[in-house]
Structure formats: C-alpha cells, structure tokens
Amino acid sequence: MYKDQRGFYRQSVTINGKRKVFSAKTKKDLMLKIAVYKDTPSSGLLLTDLADEWMEDAETRLARNTLKGYRAAYKLICQDWEGVEVDKITSQRVLAWLKRYDYLAQKTLTNYLLVLRLIIDYGCLTYGLTYNPCDKVHPPKGTGKKTREFPSPEDIQIVNNNTDKPFGVFMYTILYTGLRRGEACALKWKDIDWENKRIHVSRSMYWENHIPYEKDPKSSAGVRDVPLLDSLAEILKPNKGKKNDYVFPLLKEYDLTRGIERYRQETGLSCTPHGLRHGFASILFKQGLDVKTIQYVMGHSQSSTTMEIYIHLLEQDKTALALQALQSFI
C-alpha cells in the first residue's frame, strides 16, 4: 500500500490470477473496496447481449432519427466487444478501444462513447451493475476533425447562375436562408410570410429506410424566423402552391442525394448543402451582425457553434491578408 501524489491510498492485488489496482481516500475505504471486489462474483453478462436488450428498449422510446445516429455505434460495439463480459470492461479498455479509431472525427468518437455508456447504464438499471467504466473516459485528443466547409466566391456565383436547373432553387434557398437540408425539405408554402418577408421554420424532414417523415426540431432554437430576400421571393412565387403543400416535392432520400450530386456535377459546385448553410452564416458575419442574432437565425442551440464559424472566418481573413502582404513584398 502506498500514497500517490494526489493523496490517495493505492494497493495492487492479484485476484484469480489477474492484477488489479485499487485506490481510495482513506486506508479503511481502500480495504473495503478490495473486500467487496473479492466477494463479488462475475455476472457472466455479455456486453453484446446487453447491447441487444438496450437496442430493443431504445426502439420503443427514442425518435427514429436519434436511433439512426446510434445504430452505427451499436453495430460496431457488438462487433468489437463480442464475447466480453460487462464486468470485465475497465475504463482503460474503453479508452484503448476508442484509440483504435482515432483517425475518425471527434464527433464520431463521442457518439461511440455515448452509446457504450447508455448500454452499460441500462445494465446498471436492469441488472444492478454498480459501475460504468465509461463515466471517466473522454474521447482521445488529436483525433481527425473535419474542418467546416464554406462556399468559395465561385461556388456562390454558380448557385446564383443556375436556379433554372433541377435542384437549383433548392440550393439557392439554402444559401440565402441558412436552412438545413431537412428544414428546406419540410418547408411548406404556409411558412412563407410574403408581406413581412419572413420564413417560419418549425419542422424538419428525416428519412427512415429512405422514406421521408416530418419531425419537430431537436431544441427550441430550431423554431425561428429567417429573412426572405426579394431575389428568393421572386424565384419562389411563380411556383407557389396550396398552403399545406411542400415548397420542394417530397423525395426518397436516395433520390434527393442523387439529385443534389447531379446538380453539383453539372454545375461544377464544390460545396455541399451544409456548406452553403455555412455560407449564409458567413454573409451575416461579414454584414456586421452580432453573434446572438446569427445564432438565432441559424437555429444554433449553443452560441459556441456560431462562434466556431466566426473564428474560422477570422482565420481565413488573416491568411488572406498575410498572402496579400507577401505578394506585394515579392
């Protein structure tokens, strides 16, 4: 037994041929931990079995779109942790598992950890497990992270000049409203206030097995009014339908994806719809709007998301200024 730099007592014990290190604030708590561990039999519960039970339960409680985001992680967990008993999983093993995928984006790793934590939490409630090894684990630093995508001046010109092409009005709408792809697909004619030049956003579209369904926004921030530009109103008005009709015809997900990709190939657009949404935010920033206003119009639930875009734009401007200075010097 020894005391570490934090003042915790630590002791290494070999139980059933396996070495385990215990730590506690006092000697009494340390000895109690060791005694409890020795007397606790293995549950024999496999993580994959627990994961299957959790998914069956989640399918009765969670929204389809939420489940869609969890399923990839669930399948990976069942693949990587096959044959492993839940009470044999340690925080170190969880961290080592995440590091195997440290080339992926931080958001992806966070989702993997979240789903594993939810599965073991379910075991704590259902089978009386007393410890979740995920609680003290964070996704490893230095993982691959996608940089935010912004349209180039050429991209913006392409969108401006190709509203007559299939999906041209759709892409133009996203660029000049900042709507998410699902929000644009769920837009109805009754949501457009032509007189006050506003578009009311209150729903989004998601796809299950490529079939479209409506859903409410994830947070109250998703419900908002965005400005209706005169140029956009002129393009939309000739196609105006009944108030409950969708502005853009409902499509299966693969038809929507293929249509957008075909538009990009035909026009040479390098930017995705989500990139065009960021382009709208950049226009607002360059026009001098404050962060809180832009956060509202973009439907961001957290101001940090809006600030990330702002910081990225500042970095771009600084790089451009540095290049200009170097070119003038040469």
198-240 pLDDT, tens digit per residue, is 999 999 998 887 889 898 887 888 999 999 999 999 999 999 9
Residue 124 token pair: 């704590």
What pLDDT is recorded for position 49? 92
The candidate with the shortest Cα–Cα distance to 162, out of 89, 241, 269, 239, is: 269
How many Å apart are CA 263 and CA 159, to the nearest integer? Answer: 10
How many Å apart are CA 126 and CA 113, to the nearest integer? Answer: 20
How many Å apart are CA 164 and CA 171, to the nearest integer? Answer: 11
Amino acid at 46: L
Q: Where are the beta strands (DSSP E) in 188-297?
A: 192-193, 198-201, 204-208, 211-215, 224-227
How many Å apart are CA 142 and CA 320, to the nearest integer? Answer: 26
What pLDDT is recorded for position 3? 78
What pLDDT is recorded for position 64? 77
What backbone phi and psi angles, to 5 degrees, belong to 216?
Answer: -75, 160
* Minimum mean pLDDT range among 37-46, 101-110, 122-131, 151-160: 37-46
* Minimum mean pLDDT range among 10-19, 178-187, 297-306: 10-19
Per DSSP, the three-state class of 213 is strand
What pLDDT is recorded for position 105? 81
pLDDT higher than threshold 60 for residue 145: no
Percentage of the chain lying above the pLDDT 90 cut: 53
DSSP string for residues in 129-191:
----TTTT--PPTT---PPPP---HHHHHHHHH-TTSTTHHHHHHHHTT---HHHHHT-BGGG
pLDDT tens digits, one per residue of 109-140: 999 999 999 999 999 988 888 889 999 998 87
How many Å apart are CA 171 and CA 289, to the nearest integer? Answer: 23
What pLDDT is recorded for position 160? 96
